[in-house]
Structure 1
């Protein structure tokens, strides 16, 4: 076992005290709670027999499951599935629903909230724990191959903090999702979700995908940007930016007021325009999927068929430099509004509004700190495996 200070210990079963005597520094190692668990060694024993390509498939599926259920949306998806079945077979209307959840319209609210919370917390800790183990424990000594900021890991205090607040905000979102599920299962008259694909014509069936996706992303861009204004940042969003080296657990570690604000924005198409239930939740899962990837701290890159999608380093830069790169799934919004990170600008927590400052507008000390930050980024996280924001001597001469 190799520790952050470079020393190696061969015996795997040493106590923490014995490890400290051998040079182990727990403050540098992070929580690593999954490594200390009973199941970690069992997973390691099984995993060594799994081919690398199959392991990568498992990780992709794990992220998908994490994304599809972390907000408690599985219960909502099941509700709409049963409603789809009911509309497809009117003779069995109400029959299937009666066997799916309590028939009491008011009393069933608690049922939906509990199921939503169970699915959220289950995936958060089980799947989230697996992803944490796979990268941050299993491949910790190879961080230069996969991590956006390979030299720095969050402290134990911050890891516990993100899990605590992630759990708190997840409970708030689970409650909200449970209420929406309950409403959809009972009345749902103000929801414009439909179930027959041709109900509003095939043209709208396909057009709603880019329209809803761009509407949600542009709205969340502005919500995110507003939360970076000094007052809102100080009282709400700063909490999320405690995590300068984010992990997948950071995705829900957001102030409860803000996370409700974002969730309502993502849910708003349901009451504004007709949306097919499969397409709408497909878009949501895509958004959640990339939300997890973008906060993972891992050098994931967009696929060839996603020209609109920024790589994970885009949002990792946002956490590292604070007030820049506000977009989520479409990088064009930042290009359009001048908040895209630029090579010849300096970004810090005390430089607001997403524009940064020119080299000649900051002190030599601030510029030196900025250069050090740039060196801590992993070139492998960028396209072409080259840090496009690294500075040369010629760049600095233009200061």
Structure 2
């Protein structure tokens, strides 16, 4: 995050915002700057990609589903906008530690003993490490001692839209983001790669809430896409993973998406249209807690 902070200092904060008596390396100034940058960045990513996904990818027919809530889109957005500033508080503390040099982030390709191949390998290891971490954190948040207090708000959205992607309780949102921030303190990672992955994980989080179930056939049971995550919202106890299905299969929580079997939300809407009002609300075995 120091690349973003340096750019903000150079082009905006030092010449136009802060007094000359407040040096760039002063800790309180860095914390304040990081708080503003983190919130603006999170809001921009959420609203920009969420809006693009909502208008160009999300199937608005899903809003006719019986489990789609009244004023749901507005409620998702408001919940996310209220939560993101609180999520940013502990996140800024970790970004501050990075800026102060406590992480293993590096500037130049030459700083990696493996060169460009090291950058590529670090991207793969980042994805697998964070997928594992999020799986177990997410699964822990479904424990009865944690679920109702922290994770249940995210499950209000049975038929989610892209705007549900960041509509978390602040504790829930930070805990599920923690593996992303822990990684560069444990493993070397190029700073530009880290920023790129930060953007990617936000976009991916939006994408698994967009109701677009298209995945190459050979990867349907490998990639944890929107079809898998839709079933997680509907049935609660399955498909906790983020990118891949590996840990769900290891942990015994994998469920083949109902959308791949002709039993997903779109199929249910089709049956509603065909059979009329006699179809019960919601998929027949969906949980309603």
TM range (shorter): 0.7 to 0.9
Is residue 193 of structure 2 the alignment partner of residue 271 of structure 1?
A: no
CA-CA distance at 1:266 after TM superposition: 1.4
1:109 matched residue in structure 2: 31
Contact residue 79 and residue 184 of structure 1 kept, 8 A: no
1:301 matched residue in structure 2: 215
1:13 matched residue in structure 2: none
1:1-399 alignment to 2 at 5 Å?
78-79=4-5, 98-99=10-11, 101-102=13-14, 103-104=23-24, 105=26, 106-134=28-56, 140=60, 143=61, 151-152=65-66, 154-185=68-99, 188-202=100-114, 204-301=118-215, 308-341=222-255, 375-378=263-266
Change (3 A) 1:122 1:283: closer
Change (3 A) 1:223 1:191: same
Most deviating of 220-229 and 96-105: 96-105
Q: Secondary structure at the match of 1:121?
A: helix
Using the alignment, how far apart are the partners of 1:377 and 1:98 within structure 2? 50
CA-CA distance at 1:228 after TM superposition: 1.0
Contact residue 116 and residue 175 of structure 1 kept, 8 A: no
Question: What is the TM-score when the length of structure 2 is the normalising length?
Answer: 0.74
CA-CA distance at 1:115 after TM superposition: 3.1
Using the alignment, how far apart are the partners of 2:36 and 2:148 within structure 1? 33
Using the alignment, how far apart are the partners of 1:307 and 1:283 within structure 2? 23
Using the alignment, how far apart are the partners of 2:55 and 2:67 within structure 1? 14
Q: Structure 1, unaligned stretches of length 5 or more?
A: 1-74, 83-95, 344-369, 380-399
Using the alignment, how far apart are the partners of 2:127 and 2:263 within structure 1? 35
Q: Which has the higher contact order (CA 8 A, sep 6+)?
A: 2
CA-CA distance at 1:309 after TM superposition: 2.0
Q: Secondary structure at the match of 1:268?
A: helix
Change (3 A) 1:281 1:112: closer
Q: Structure 2, unaligned stretches of length 5 or more?
A: 15-22, 268-289
Using the alignment, how far apart are the partners of 2:4 and 2:219 within structure 1? 29
Change (3 A) 1:177 1:235: closer
Q: CA RMSD in A?
A: 3.3
Q: Secondary structure at the match of 2:212?
A: coil
Rg larger for: 1
Contact residue 155 and residue 233 of structure 2 kept, 8 A: yes
Change (3 A) 1:274 1:242: same
> How many pairs does the alignment contain?
253
1:36 matched residue in structure 2: none
Q: Write the deviation string for residues 297-341 of structure 1: whole angstroms up to 9, x where unpaired.
A: 233435978984233101111101111111110111111221111
Using the alignment, how far apart are the partners of 1:207 and 1:111 within structure 2? 32
Change (3 A) 1:167 1:282: same
Q: Write the deviation string for residues 13-50 of structure 1: whole angstroms up to 9, x where unpaired.
A: xxxxxxxxxxxxxxxxxxxxxxxxxxxxxxxxxxxxxx
